Amino acid sequence: MNADMSMISLVLEASPIVQAVMVLLLLASLISWAIIIAKLSQLGRAKRAANKFEEVFWAGGDVSDIYRRLKPQRGNLRGLERLFEAGFSEYGRLSRGNSDADAILAGSRRSMRLVLSRETDELEQSLSFLATVGSVSPYIGLFGTVWGIMNSFRALGNVQQATLAMVAPGIAEALIATAIGLFAAIPAVIFYNRFANQIDRTLSRYENFAEEFSNLLNRQLHSRRVKDAA
């Protein structure tokens, strides 16, 4: 009598522990893909928003006008817009009645660093889950495989004549666990590395803008100091 070697049959007839491993890995894979899709959308929006804002900002217009347009949307700002709004808002607040240019510039930079820290947290959110799935899933799948093969060989102890047909289904169902582990791990590793690189480049872009904007504010303060001296 030939054993049913179809994939569905092997999964349904696997031992409870091997089935639990398969379910755990499939669940991890589904969550990983949900994170991957959400992160692709998030990073895409961040790049488009940064491109749009830099195009407006470096067009040579008055930064005060840009700030006035962004201020009503303060709660919904992200990325460079949020960074600019925080820095210029603090600059304006400290400039009123304060003649210490260094203190004004330092306060603006602190405000932008705080926003940059928040942006970093938002961009890196859920990356640790992808890293965990990518590193742990193969070992979980291997555990299911070892357990399944162990059960197959234990079953041979109860028969006098062992054949390949007797152990093949057990070994096959065990190897499915390893395959599912790799199925969960490979996309997680690929997209984790891709997202980590994109986030590093995005944050570097934010940091460069913050530095350039600080230099612009510094020039404004210097010009104001020259006018006051005159």
Q: What percent of the chain has pLDDT over 70?
A: 82
In this prediction, residue 1 carries a pLDDT of: 41
For residue 98, the SS3 value is: coil
When pLDDT is cut at 50, 70 and 90, the band that residue 172 belongs to is confident
For residue 13, the SS3 value is: coil
pTM (two decimals): 0.82
Give tens-digit pLDDT for 96-113. Answer: 876 678 888 899 999 999
| Residue 9 near residue 90, CB atoms below 8 Å | no
Q: How far is CA 209 from the centre of its chain?
A: 22
In this prediction, residue 48 carries a pLDDT of: 93
When pLDDT is cut at 50, 70 and 90, the band that residue 115 belongs to is very high
- For residue 154, is pLDDT > 80? no
**What CA–CA distances, in Å, run from 90 to 25, 44, 74, 145, 195?**
48, 29, 13, 59, 32
DSSP string for 15-72: -HHHHHHHHHHHHHHHHHHHHHHHHHHHHHHHHHHHHHHHHHHTTT--HHHHHHHHGG
| Residue 109 near residue 189, CB atoms below 8 Å | no
> Which residue's structure tokens are 């070994």?
171
The mean per-residue pLDDT over the stretch 42-55 comes to: 92
The per-residue b/e assignment along 101-136, b for 16 or more CB within 10 angstroms, e otherwise, is beebbebbbebbeebbeebeeebeebbeebeebbeb
The mean per-residue pLDDT over the stretch 69-76 comes to: 81
The mean per-residue pLDDT over the stretch 169-175 comes to: 74
- For residue 50, is pLDDT > 80? yes
| 144 burial via Cβ count (<10 Å: 0-12, 13-18, 19+) | buried
CA–CA distance, 95 with 103 (Å, rounded to integer): 9
For residue 4, the SS3 value is: coil
In this prediction, residue 204 carries a pLDDT of: 95
CA–CA distance, 196 with 198 (Å, rounded to integer): 6
In this prediction, residue 78 carries a pLDDT of: 87
Q: How far is CA 116 from the centre of its chain?
A: 16
**What CA–CA distances, in Å, run from 193 to 21, 130, 179, 188, 206?**
26, 10, 21, 9, 20
In this prediction, residue 34 carries a pLDDT of: 97
Largest CA distance in the chain: 107
- For residue 198, is pLDDT > 90? yes
